[in-house]
């Protein structure tokens, strides 16, 4: 009789684990699409229901929703998302060691770079290697002046 209970417990545990994993995967996929397409209304619901979701790193790249939106150039999405995040959330590197501000600079989105750097004194909280990387990316993409001045 005890074996039946153990078997039922293991079966229920596996079903719940698969269901939770499926729900988590679907939420992550939805977050990825929202960040890429700039759909803030759906993302806002996700973040308000689960504030820690801004720190979820997507499988394979380590990018967060902020990485994706900054690289895609979704300025309003980035502005809204940064209002709901802490500076530490903006300093999460992806698996290549890139911050969201680096991806925005690599993609040529100067306004996003300027906004990210000016909000919450992000540069003061960045590690020297990240500041150096940002400097060289903006210089090589001819964006340094655009990010500093109102050009």
- pLDDT, tens digit (0-9, with 9 covering 90-100), for 56-100: 888 778 889 999 999 999 999 999 998 888 888 899 999 999 999
Long-range contacts, stretch 46-52, CB < 8 angstroms, 24+ apart:
47/81, 47/84, 51/84
Token pair 């300027």: residue: 114
As a whole number of angstroms, the distance between CA 48 and CA 20 comes to: 20
As a whole number of angstroms, the distance between CA 97 and CA 77 comes to: 22
3-class SS of residue 103: helix
Beta-carbon neighbour count of residue 48 at 10 Å? 10
Token pair 């153990």: residue: 6
Window from 86-100, 101-115, 116-130 with minimum mean pLDDT: 116-130
| Summary mean pLDDT of the chain | 79
Output Rg (C-alpha) for the chain, integer angstroms. Answer: 19
Domains of the chain, with CATH numbers? 2-148 (1.25.40.20)
pTM of the model: 0.78
The mean per-residue pLDDT over the stretch 122-136 comes to 89
As a whole number of angstroms, the distance between CA 25 and CA 17 comes to: 12
């Amino acid at each position: 009789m005890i074996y039946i209970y153990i078997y039922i417990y293991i079966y229920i545990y596996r079903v719940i684990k698969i269901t939770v994993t499926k729900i988590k995967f679907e939420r992550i996929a939805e977050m990825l699409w929202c960040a890429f397409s700039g759909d803030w209304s759906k993302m806002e619901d996700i973040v308000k229901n689960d504030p820690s979701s801004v720190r979820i790193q997507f499988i394979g790249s380590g990018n967060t929703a902020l990485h994706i939106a900054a690289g895609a150039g979704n300025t309003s999405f980035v502005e809204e998302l940064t209002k709901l995040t802490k500076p530490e959330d903006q300093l999460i590197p992806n698996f290549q060691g890139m911050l969201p501000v680096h991806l925005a600079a690599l993609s040529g989105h100067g306004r996003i770079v300027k906004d990210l750097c000016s909000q919450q004194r992000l540069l003061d909280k960045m590690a020297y290697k990240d500041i150096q990387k940002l400097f060289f990316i903006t210089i090589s993409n001819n964006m340094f002046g655009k990010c500093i001045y109102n050009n």
